[in-house]
Amino acid sequence: DGQEDDGSLQRVRPRRLFRSFLAGVTLVKFPGNMTRADLRSRAGISLFSVSQCTTRSILNSSLVSTWFERISIMVILLNCVTLGMYQPCENIDCTSDRCQILQAFDAFIYIFFALEMVVKMVALGIFGRHCYLGDTWNRLDFFIVMAGMVEYSLDLQNINLSAIRTVRVLRPLKAINRVPSMRILVNLLLDTLPMLGNVLLLCFFVFFIFGIIGVQLWAGLLRNRCYLEENFTLSSGMTPPPPYYRPEEDDERPFICSLASDNGIMSCFDVPARRQGGQTCCLDKEDAGAGDATGLCINWHQYYTRCHTGSTNPHKGAINFDNIVYAWIVIFQVITLEGWVEIMYYVMDAHSFYNFIYFILLIIVSNVLVF
């Protein structure tokens, strides 16, 4: 029972053969580096029997055919084109001819992928080391086909599940299984991912150190606003101005002032005069009646003289150093070089002119040493 036949076929006992027949597993051990010639010579030695049949021999020959690979790549490229032409905002009900044509192409592509999976399962077997599901990329193909089956099943029941439709994006990944050089490159990149652990640790260390510095220096400072002066009163019937100075109505780009204990660039005395109707307002609140007669307006901005810490941070509360988590968010935005100058100006206005050193060092350390 332990002798081998032709170096590959192994004799098995009847009981083991029967169990393997029920399970549909491969009964033959294949070498790890099989060529096309080896696959042709071993065609039919998988799935439910150890004997070779004509149908499975033809299927194995088709799988290793150059034309089959070319057709598969052409279908994958066609799938990429159809995915790029799909317009979800215009094709909600899919009533246009363009959408129906794309839908027909999508159905054809799915049927091709499903038939390809069935052919490989019949030719190579389903479970086992050298069978269809024994390969990682084949398991990805199996997942894509099964997700498409669920999608079409939900369409038949008038149930729309957009999350499953996103699996279509994975279909171009089937090209990795068709181009050997691309597959080797992707496997090499995946094998090097564990080596990036030290780089991620260094990145976390940089984020943590700079985050702690930012929290210790600027916690709460980006909430500084110029409020109305103390003992501010109005005559009866007058509409009170906003509680603090806002350059814009939505307060997306606030005027951040420096407290008396800090040495920031901006103070409440730098608040510009109010403008209305293209002219600068110059009246005081006591001259409200005279303003109605002369057509002039009251300069309410002159009463915003008290710098005080408020409750809102810039950009709807996303930009601040109030805790380590928000500090990490700001640091990540700074190292991406997206809007980092505006953040630096906020900090310089509220604390000190020399805070630019922090941001310059952060960009140099993160982009040069880490990234």
Q: For residues 175 and 308, what is the distance between their CA atoms, to the nearest angstrom? A: 60
**Region label for 199, one of left (φ > 0), alpha (ψ between -120 and 50) or beta (otherwise):** alpha
The beta strands (E) that lie in 273-342 are given as: 275-276, 279-280, 306-309
Q: pLDDT tens digit string along 290-331?
A: 555 456 788 888 889 899 998 889 988 889 999 999 999 999
**Weakest mean pLDDT among 187-196, 217-226, 235-244:** 235-244
Query: 299, 283 in Cβ contact below 8 A?
Result: yes
Per-residue pLDDT for 224 more than 90? yes
- Specify whether domain 4-178 bears CATH 1.20.120.350: yes
Q: Where are the domains of the chain?
A: 4-178, 202-370
Q: Identify the pLDDT of residue 32.
A: 40
Q: pLDDT tens digit string along 112-122?
A: 888 888 888 87
Q: For residues 52 and 6, what is the distance between their CA atoms, to the nearest angstrom? A: 14
Count of helices and strands (H, E) across the chain:
14, 6
Residue 2 binned pLDDT confidence (cut-offs 50, 70, 90): very low
Mean pLDDT confidence for 17-42: 42
Mean pLDDT confidence for 341-350: 94
Q: Which two tokens stand for residue 367?
A: 């982009």
Q: Identify the pLDDT of residue 331.
A: 93
Q: Identify the pLDDT of residue 288.
A: 64
- Give the pTM: 0.61
Residue 26 binned pLDDT confidence (cut-offs 50, 70, 90): very low
Within 13 Å, how many C-alpha atoms sit on residue 119's CB side?
15
Q: Output 204 or 62, whichever has higher pLDDT.
A: 204
Q: Identify the pLDDT of residue 39.
A: 47
Q: Which two tokens stand for residue 28?
A: 């033959």
Indicate the residue type of 26. Answer: T
Q: For residues 26 and 123, what is the distance between their CA atoms, to the nearest angstrom? A: 11
Residue 219 binned pLDDT confidence (cut-offs 50, 70, 90): very high
**Weakest mean pLDDT among 3-7, 187-191, 259-263:** 3-7
**Weakest mean pLDDT among 10-14, 80-84, 203-207, 301-305:** 10-14
Per-residue pLDDT for 20 more than 80? no
Q: Identify the pLDDT of residue 135.
A: 77
Single out the residue of 323, 332, 330, 365 nearest to residue 347, CA to CA. Answer: 330
According to the per-residue pLDDT averaged within each range, which of 9-13, 176-180, 317-321 is highest?
Answer: 317-321
